[in-house]
Amino acid sequence: MADRFSGYADSVSAPAARAVAVVPHDVNELAEVPKALFVGTGGTIVMRGAGGGADVAFKNVANGAVLPFRPQYVRATGTTATDILALY
């Protein structure tokens, strides 16, 4: 199948080209920093951004939400949301 957009530069605001399931973990970081996260089943997600700093809790995330946040870590402790996909 032809991809009419293959010649365009990728950017954080461009649509994602792939999605990978996220398994929250308290120690392991994500293999890559994604453009955003898709949350299938809502709840709370505890993350640390790519720039470091402290963990933050995104509370009351709705089912089907796309979070324009670039996490390095998605923590298991405190995360109640499920069916999370990293968008690249």
Segment 38-66, tens digit of pLDDT: 999 999 999 999 988 899 999 999 999 99
Secondary structure, 3-state, 29-54 = CCCCCCCEEEEEECEEEEEEECCCCC
Judged by average pLDDT, the poorest of 4-8, 11-15, 38-42 is 4-8
Q: Is 7 exposed, middle or buried (0-12, 13-18, 19+ CB in 10 A)?
A: exposed
Residue 39 vs residues 3, 50, 66, 81: alpha-carbon distances, Å: 27, 19, 6, 7
**Closest by CA position to 12, among listed 37, 46, 47, 48:** 37
